[in-house]
Structure 1
């Protein structure tokens, strides 16, 4: 059964009986069923577990010769059972024991590669142990299968470590902030060293805090006790003072892996010690060869050699020591299969110097490039949640880290609380039907609008919520019987600045607030009662899911005192984490002890570092680009049994670190989230194979990074010189340009282009039902416009940033000249109430206008209303047939939809509201469109793009 494909069960059982006379075996399939049904619990459990693992391995293997069905489908499982020759009753039993887990698998953009992993000769040792550990930790079968598929997708695209010709594969894995990327690269390392990679270098962030956290995680879950001790006593371990070490929570093998038929891992870095030259370097880096005449990568040497693992900080001096030591070892560097894992690969690793021949690389990028140059068999895999810097790298730079071989986008893990859980992407901002149940913003987000530096009201309210949620956790631990480790950590994060002096002032302010809060007084309890009744209780009543909620504050009150005592233990309720030894008030070491504290920090707490138990966040930190802002989202993560308690207190009127433009931090995060999802959607679209070949390769990934919030660039400007989009084919997809002009002359030009179309619409609006179950609808004026006329209108429009619309215009020209579209339905949504109506120029008719504002410069944020997009998708054939007859009557195969929004910005709203007449130069005619579902050409390809390639003077990689 351990082979690469399922074979007839009866034949295998006969073979086992013949090969092992007297041994216990199954004589028939009926006996096998009896064993599954009636065997003793222990042996029956082992049998079921064995078959579950094997069936799921067959379920998700990619493109097997014995099945044409997609992985993880009922059809694939049927093929497996047919190959095994199983009867229906046996199939039913196995389905009950190991149901098909239909995980989607990661999205992969990849070059063609030589398959090798499925048939490699290495010993599977560390990956099975790691998967078993995750199962014991409570990971579901679905989550482990998902990780199995994702890690295999990475490792199979690395070069075969036994391959005679050296090849460097470089890839990028895109996860979500605090979503389990470490688990993924731990699994990748386990698989890679099982397959034969013998030197693993993990670049673990730019701070000791992050490096140490990564080292411990790998030691605990992968390396294991025996490899850590290497014959020493338990008390000599660098984890001797770690509670989880003494509790037996580090993985154990029973003996040294090499004694048990596996191979050892030698650590070249330890819990608190980064790479050190000479002492831990040269000798430890020497690789033993069982067959000296053969190269190390030969299977006879490779699979009998120990692996080396180091977790190295991204620091010029540390990496310099490693480069220096590698040059001294006797083992030829060209023979060593090396895996380099770069955690937070968009930070520090990317070369931010302009790509000119006479320009030196940035320091850390230079050291990584040296490693890649001197280690021909090194494979580079970057991990990040903000991939923008990586995809803008010059692909022609052979010594850089552009992911030329693959980009893998991980699926959002189950139970993860991320950006979408704090925003209402599917609700209109003015929707009066918002409730705590259907609005994430109402449930979890609280505004921070500070009048002046002495205004401590919002901060005190956030601290009150922190105390209330602490009491709720104690209540649930007792009432629901969750146990003492259910809420081992409970934290609040205050993030206002990166500056140490600001932390000093903030520490004084927060300390004063804490000791003056009066949490044991009648006044304090009255304040907590009010917050419980108006905020915590109503949210938890509809969002608590399977955990308990007190019926009143009186039921929660007995837990307030213990909660305050937990937070204020040792008279230090606050921990400052910023590297200033004179200022730091404690250690945020979540591994050593339970932490119920308020954390104040900046850079150390804004990238990569996991703040455990984070429940309340007070965020007023400024950021100058999308990557930095997203990485500060420490409130993302897994919140088991307390999702409903999570609160984000966020600044709504803050200034950037440069310039005078005020921004709304919450709206900035919302825009960033839209950008991220748009990028993932683009990757998913282009991951679809065309005629069995990749639609695009990573070197051809266009600059598909949207900017819903232009004040924040996708990444720092010096990482953005490799980008130009030429054409985007978008059949059946909503597209929404936002770079409208600012000058009254251009606005007047655009408005007068659209006015004849508005005037031609039907006199009475049609009521479109977008949710038939709830009977929700909206009115809109409707008309049709010929394809050529609409294309001419689009061509004539003025833009402040023409490059934003030009890729769409190229496509619209293409479908029009190819006669792939007959006409467009023009929808002008109207308000249900008779307000916000204006006449334009000398028009007799009145039209509804919409309040929309630019985020900065020419670009607006989101313009459209989700309910309008629903109808547009139906008419253009993007989402099947509607239940609304008014919608269906407009549906034809070659018809697109344009939804028009006359927008009035803040400066002109009083005039519009009071007079009902507005000059066309004060109106922005915004629109979105959906082209017909079948309006595409060039096969299944959806994109043409240009990527600047510095290897040619005016080079464009055009596809």
Structure 2
């Protein structure tokens, strides 16, 4: 922002109703507009528009700047997907709309703090003269300058200071208890009762939560964050993370349990788990168990996959030299053996040793047998990369001088705290770089130009959020994706594959819940997760969870009649879908009633049933939306794994109205308000009558293979004071059956909204 920019001091009032979940409508002012202009050199129009719209949806869920009170919100991104850019834009928008303080809690180490603060200052224009912000950094052994804080805040209430001259405080603080208490003690000395404040907790599931909850105690950093919030009466606490499991599973009465959520969408160039772990891809390579170091059998020499990974990386670096792409970019290899620093030293020695040996061999005269053997191995690596990156230069270009440059010029840097402080990465020094480390290369660390990852690290406890944070290979990798290779132990690769399904289900559910706009505490805590993974650290969770299954049972709408407009839409969707199908009378006993005779269409493509029927239906009940969206998301993954999966669709009672009475909660599903008609006749052993000999019951009306969808047409009634009252008729309801072979395990925690059996 330039010096003469003017923060907007009003909330824009629109004639149209607010989107679900928004408390107010933030206005795009000069700060946000100028930020978007600044980002033109990094992002295209679509990306900037997406980021700006997302910021509006985020800030609009926060406590309005003109109101008292505080709240907590979750902003869910993905690994290296642009979360920092998101909260930078939210901060700019907050300034436009009268927030006077923006506090960013970021990084549990100084390098991570500097990384985030550097980006904030750059993109907000602070480093280039934007004086609309006053930056107050809270660093080790430094107390904040209270006078500088109060001077900036006084400008907001001084009528003689033009609005354009009023400064917003940007306070950045390391997520460490001593730094947090220094900030809190300073803020307690200032009257902040009427000061709208935004607190952003970057990587909010790390270090912020209470690790002593099972002991009825409070961990230090958690306590300091609560104290900071208490010192700022009028604020929103925004939790940014890509791994929300802990935040969603802590007790919903906890102050840090989010009350609303916003799901960030990635841009076109993002490559995440679905792309890296696509079964049809060639990106993931297994490190055999024999090549993994263990305390019982430590490695004595570099394993074959290590050399393979190095060759692939150096071919990629050589390609950059061939194409002249080395000035403003990087190609990086990451080696992540374990958290033990001795292993970092060992791998560093192996890399340096290999570089020297290969450089010497490549400097030998042409025709030398050892040189030709090495070149042949590099040719195999080039052919491997060419399968996913057809534009790779020819072997003649790759394997000459540029390959020697790639090997000689690529530095090796060990990143750990062995010497007391973590070294900084100088990405500008060389085009190629090899980074070796452990936990430093986990959460929050951004790796520029990462193409090859070698991670011979054990799965450990199999904690889902910890595992995912190791995925530094995820990110905006589209330009170099064909050069990417990730080497993992087999069990770790399988765990990542399982996480892909879990992440997609979680994001789909939260995205659907966000659209409805209901408070997040009402979200039923249940999501797909393979039992081989734990969702998060046990020390954070005081409400036990259990395991169940989605599939191998019927899932159906409980409240299909909630709104007349959704009923009308669903009738139209079903009519459009059925118009193009051929239905036949199902087979059954001659004595069935008309309501027990159905029309059936078999052998349908599940993808078409999903896209033309199920995904177009509208569910206005929170319970229906949450349960069915999760089911449809699972069906979509089933289709992606096998596009030949079939579905069978039944028109129950040939679309005649069937009377059903809803319970006191206005829903189907109780003993007296079941959707399904039971078996006919009932069993009577004394008379030799077998249950269901004429009609087996609705729940038995399903295909022997594939997915079954039942479409019911209902006349809804309600019991009031002993009398039956008509509510609606011609109401569509659906039931979906996923067979055992397609079922998925789910985690269930008994808190949040009602969780009902299928």
Q: How high is the TM-score relative to the length of structure 2?
A: 0.70
Structure 1 CA distance for aligned equivalents of residues 335 and 93 of structure 2: 39
**Offset of residue 721 of structure 1:** 3.1
Q: What SS class does the counterpart of residue 220 from structure 1 fall into?
A: helix
For the residues of structure 1 that align with 2:36 and 2:648, how far apart are their CA atoms? Answer: 57
1:312, 1:777 → 2: CA distance?
50
Indicate whether 1:601 and 2:437 are aligned.
yes
Of 201, 206, 210, the residue aligned with 1:342 is: 201
User: Is the CA contact 2:526–2:747 (under 8 Å) kept in the aligned structure 1?
Assistant: no
For 2:84 and 2:503, the matched residues in 1 are separated by 20
The residue that corresponds to 2:658 in the other structure is none
Matches within 5 A, 1:151-550: 151-161=55-65, 163=66, 165-225=67-127, 251=128, 257=131, 264-269=132-137, 274=139, 276-278=141-143, 280-288=144-152, 296=157, 305-328=166-189, 331-354=190-213, 359-397=216-254, 400-404=255-259, 406-424=260-278, 439-440=280-281, 443-451=282-290, 453-454=299-300, 456-477=303-324, 484-485=327-328, 488-518=329-359, 520=362, 521=364, 526=372, 529-531=375-377, 533-537=379-383, 539-541=385-387, 543-544=389-390, 548-550=391-393
Aligned to 1:431: none
Report SS of the residue matched to 1:649.
Answer: strand
Taking the aligned partners of 2:738 and 2:312, their CA distance within structure 1 comes to 46
Unaligned runs of 5+ in 2: 1-10, 292-298, 558-601, 609-641, 654-667, 680-696, 713-731
Name the CA shift for 1:894/1:383 in 2 (closer, same or farther; >3 Å): closer
For 1:816, what is the secondary structure of its paired residue?
coil
Q: Contact 1:276/1:321 (CA < 8 Å) preserved in 2?
A: no
Q: Could you say which residue in structure 2 is the equivalent of 1:630?
A: 468
For 1:816, which of 649, 673, 676 is the aligned residue?
A: 676
Distance 1:533 1:205, change over 3 A: same
- Equivalence for 1:889: none
For each residue in 1:653-684, what CA deviation from the matched residue of structure 2 results, as whole angstroms up to 9, or x when unmatched?
xxxxxxxxxxx110000101111111111123
In the alignment, the residues of structure 2 paired with residue 116 and residue 824 of structure 1 have an alpha-carbon distance, to the nearest angstrom, of 49
Kindly indicate whether the alpha-carbon contact (under 8 Å) linking 1:607 and 1:631 is maintained by their aligned counterparts in 2: yes
Q: Distance in 2 between matches of 1:944 and 1:643?
A: 33
Specify whether residues 143 and 721 from structure 1 end up closer, same or farther in structure 2 by C-alpha distance, changes over 3 A only.
same
SS of equivalent residue, structure 1 residue 827: coil
Q: Please report how far the alpha carbon of residue 564 of structure 1 lies from its aligned counterpart in structure 2 after TM superposition.
A: 1.6
1 CA distance for matches of 2:44 and 2:549? 43
Q: Distance in 2 between matches of 1:377 and 1:252?
A: 29
Instruction: Give the Cα–Cα distance (whole angstroms) in 1 for the partners of residues 56 and 187 of structure 2.
Output: 29
Distance 1:576 1:364, change over 3 A: same
Q: 2:454 matched to which residue of 1? A: 618
Distance (Å, rounded) in 1 between the aligned partners of 2:373 and 2:711? 54
Q: What residue in structure 1 maps to residue 487 of structure 2?
A: 649
Structure 1 residues 299 and 191 mapped into 2: Cα distance closer, same or farther (>3 Å)?
A: farther
Contact kept in structure 2, 1:500 and 1:578, CA below 8 Å: yes
Residue by residue over 1:273-321, the C-alpha shift from the partner in whole angstroms, topping out at 9 and shown as x without a partner, is 726544x422222135668xxx859998987532221221111111111
Aligned counterpart, 2:15: 65
| Secondary structure of the corresponding residue to residue 166 of structure 1 | coil
Task: Label 1:502 to 1:190 Cα distance change in 2 as closer, same or farther (>3 A).
Answer: same
SS of the residue 2:185 aligns to: helix
Note the C-alpha offset of 1:814: 4.6
Would you say the 8 A contact 2:262–2:511 is kept in 1? no
Runs (5+) with no aligned partner, structure 1: 1-60, 71-107, 226-250, 258-263, 428-438, 568-572, 653-663, 733-765, 788-807, 829-867, 879-891, 902-926, 930-942, 950-955
- Do 1:204 and 1:311's aligned partners in 2 also have CA atoms closer than 8 Å? yes
The CA deviation at 1:145 is 0.8
1:671 to 498, 502, 516: 498
| Structure ranking higher on relative contact order (CA contacts 8 Å, 6+ apart) | 2
CA shift, 1:948, in A, is 4.3
Are the aligned partners of 2:451 and 2:484 in contact in 1 as well (CA < 8 Å)?
yes
Task: Kindly indicate whether residue 743 of structure 2 is the aligned counterpart of residue 928 of structure 1.
Answer: yes
| In the alignment, structure 1 residue 115 sits paired with structure 2 residue 24 | yes
Q: 1:539 to 1:211 in 2, by over 3 A?
A: same
Measure the CA separation in 2 of the matches of 1:191 and 1:266: 16
Q: Contact 2:251–2:541 at 8 Å: present in 1 too?
A: no
Show CA shifts across 1:398-435 (max 9, x none). xx22111x2111113210111111122xx6xxxxxxxx
Contact 1:614 1:635 in 2 (8 A): yes
CA gap of 1:579–1:781, structure 2 versus 1, over 3 A, is: closer
Is the CA contact 2:556–2:733 (under 8 Å) kept in the aligned structure 1? no
Greater mean deviation of Cα atoms: 488-497 or 617-626: 617-626
**2: CA distance between counterparts of 1:377 and 1:312?**
19
1:77-107 CA distance string (max 9 Å, x none): xxxxxxxxxxxxxxxxxxxxxxxxxxxxxxx
Evaluate the alpha carbon distance shift between residue 781 and residue 324 of structure 1 in structure 2; reply closer, same or farther with a 3 A threshold: closer
What is the aligned-residue RMSD (CA, Å)? 4.2
Given that 1:275 and 1:310 are in contact with CA atoms closer than 8 Å, whether structure 2 keeps it comes out as no
Q: CA deviation at 1:638?
A: 1.4
Residues 798-817 of structure 1 aligned to structure 2 (within 5 Å): 814-816=674-676
Distance 1:958 1:577, change over 3 A: same
Q: CA deviation at 1:353?
A: 2.3
Distance 1:645 1:301, change over 3 A: same
Gap change, CA 1:310 and 1:583, over 3 Å in 2:
closer
SS in 2 for 1:451: helix
The equivalent of 1:697 in structure 2 is 519
In structure 1, distance between residues paired with 2:343 and 2:645: 52
* Distance in structure 2 (CA, Å) of the matches to 1:204 and 1:677: 26
Structure 1 residues 707 and 63: CA distance shift in structure 2, 3 A: farther
Q: Is the 8 A contact 1:702 1:723 kept in 2?
A: no
Structure 2 SS opposite 1:496 = coil
C-alpha distance in 1 between matches for 2:647 and 2:91: 59
Q: Which residue of 1 aligns with 2:413?
A: 575
CA distance in 2, matches of 1:341, 1:582: 28
Between the two proteins, the alignment pairs up a number of residues equal to: 598
Aligned to 2:294: none
Q: Distance in 1 between matches of 2:446 and 2:209?
A: 23
TM-score of the pair, normalised by structure 1: 0.56
- Determine if contact 1:176/1:385 at 8 Å carries over to the other structure: yes
Partner of 2:408: 565
For each residue in 1:675-728, what CA deviation from the matched residue of structure 2 results, as whole angstroms up to 9, or x when unmatched?
111111112333343xxxx3x3211122233222x2321111122334669998
Range with bigger deviation, 507-516 or 310-319: 507-516
CA offset digits 1:623-656 (Å, max 9, x no partner): 420111000001011125311000101112xxxx
Q: Which among 700, 703, 706 is matched to residue 528 of structure 2?
A: 706
